[in-house]
Structure 1
Amino acid sequence: MEILILAPHWGSNALAPQEFIARVVDAGFDGIEMSLPLDPAAHDEWTGRIGAAGLQLAAQQWETAFHARFDEHRDALARYLANACRARPLFVNSHTGKDYYSVEQNMELLALAESIGAQHGVPVLHEIHRSRFSGHPTLLLPYLRQLPQLALTADLSHWCCACESLLEDQQEMLDAVLPHARHIHARVGHPQGPQVNDFRAPEWGEALQRHLSWWDRIVALRKAAGARRMTLTPEFGPAPYTQALPFGGELVSQPWELNVAMLELLRGRYGRSQ
């Protein structure tokens, strides 16, 4: 099984496409995970430059997070998913639904995403993320019972925060959820937040080992299922995910440095194939 490690565009949005892509190539990533512009010219510039650099693309849609009303959220989801699928990426990682929508409303959104993905022949994955339909294990599990083929992006750092734990007491839940993971956001969270300030620091050793154990399990499950590839994206994000000192706002760690360090850890752990 091929192991691909992707660079997050999140946090580098101020860089011009050519500058960001050069940074990605220099660091040794296999591709990029990003939300593509709706503007057709900008969209095509990004996809053209990514392809010319020999990089893979995983598309995102997170913009629906800013649409609170259900009808607006549904319309935005259709628009952004279609825009993402037009690039023919490996998959689309979607921030879908809201934790305060009804089950019926979120099911409608999941069906819409499945339909758009099928039209384009592009898998749509739904990210485990606070405030989405998957924001807490007890919210997500009923959907998995109704939709046994539902594909997820595992960002378990969010559940560490939402459950105020390293999920030590939720093994049964993890056993139900991890087989649905098709992509990993390799960020380390902790019981009081979705991102540690530096995963290399000894005080975060337990949190790191817990996350690695989950990622190991997902990789092993995908290999056992005969998957052709597994993708992981280090996703340490900018402020306020990255903590800053008061008053001056100086960051206590650099997200891009952490993402490159996580790339190196993951490459050492999984290599290029499993």
Structure 2
Amino acid sequence: MTQHVFIFAPHWGSAHLSRDAFIHQVKEAGFDGIEMSLPMVAVERDAWCRAIEDAGLLLIAQQWETALHADFDDHKQALAAYLFNACAAQPLFVNTHTGKDFYSFAQNSELLDLTESISLETGVPIVHEIHRSRFSGHPMLLLPYLQQRPSLAFNADLSHWCCACESLLEDQQQTLAQVFPHVQHIHARVGNSQGPQVNDFRAPEHANALQQHLAWWDAIIELRRHAGVQQITITPEFGPAPYTQTLPYTNQVVSDAWELNVAMLRLLRERYA
């Protein structure tokens, strides 16, 4: 069976560019599609969707904005609005930042019920991003939900767990083995025990972190292959400051996030060709 790996460009970090300039940059770099949070104004959302389609690119919709809503009722209302807006674009799927690490199990479960119902109503798959401060912010936070909901689907951004667990998860192998079969998308950012993003994954001092992340991505892709999945999606997601470290006093970034994402695109193309 032939397995196709599609690599997406993150819009995060490029919001200063016009729509046309960003899409041109994505095409020029050789990405297969775009992962982005879509405008809530329908006319603007539809304009983005048309432009992406006209460029021959695929779309993964994203919602992260509920991170700004701490009150549970506000969070739930916002989650529904953002997910329905994202699903209206008919993307490949929606990647959502769901819940909070300080919500109760019952509250986060209510949000998971909501995402499932929206996915069923719209016919658009929804995956939950592994991310600090969300319901999935730490392996031991996530496992109880997974045990109760074996159909949960995840976007693996394991750099967050490196940071949360202050390790390269060497002692979390059993947990990862439980989670990996549920991963349907990958955010290819390299973190380490002290942060969710190394300053340059190509630097020799980050070789161990890079090799560990590559091993995780290899394992996830192999599981997807064995499951008969023909399309694998990955988004390199090195972000702007403060994810990209800056020098003191001047706030000058020490690396260029877009250049890192393009470099990761090339690494992934060669590795999974």
* TM-score relative to the length of structure 2: 0.99
Separation in 2 of the partners of 1:7 and 1:149? 27
Separation in 2 of the partners of 1:256 and 1:102? 37
The aligned amino acid for 2:196 is: P
Deviation at 1:41, TM superposition (A): 1.4
Deviation at 1:202, TM superposition (A): 0.3
1:8 paired residue among 3, 7, 10: 10
**Match of 1:186?**
188
The aligned amino acid for 1:210 is: Q
The within-5 A match list for 1:257-272 is 257-271=259-273
The within-5 A match list for 1:1-274 is 1-271=3-273
Deviation sequence 1:3-25 (CA, Å, 0-9, x none): 10000000001111000000000
The aligned amino acid for 2:77 is: D
Separation in 2 of the partners of 1:85 and 1:117? 8
The aligned amino acid for 1:227 is: V
The aligned amino acid for 2:183 is: A
Q: Unpaired segments of 5 or more residues in structure 1?
A: none
Separation in 1 of the partners of 2:73 and 2:267? 42
Separation in 2 of the partners of 1:179 and 1:212? 16
Deviation sequence 1:133-178 (CA, Å, 0-9, x none): 0000000000110000100000000000000000011100110111
Aligned residues: 271
Deviation at 1:227, TM superposition (A): 0.9
Q: Unpaired segments of 5 or more residues in structure 2?
A: none
Q: Tell me how large the CA RMSD over aligned residues is.
A: 0.5
The aligned amino acid for 1:208 is: L
The aligned amino acid for 2:76 is: R
Separation in 1 of the partners of 2:46 and 2:125? 20
- Corresponding residue SS for 1:54: coil
- Corresponding residue SS for 1:182: strand
Deviation at 1:40, TM superposition (A): 1.2
Deviation at 1:117, TM superposition (A): 1.1
Separation in 1 of the partners of 2:118 and 2:134? 19
- Corresponding residue SS for 1:242: coil
* TM-score relative to the length of structure 1: 0.98
Deviation sequence 1:161-210 (CA, Å, 0-9, x none): 00000001110011011111000000000000000000000000000000
Deviation at 1:228, TM superposition (A): 2.4
Separation in 1 of the partners of 2:38 and 2:116? 19
- Corresponding residue SS for 1:3: strand
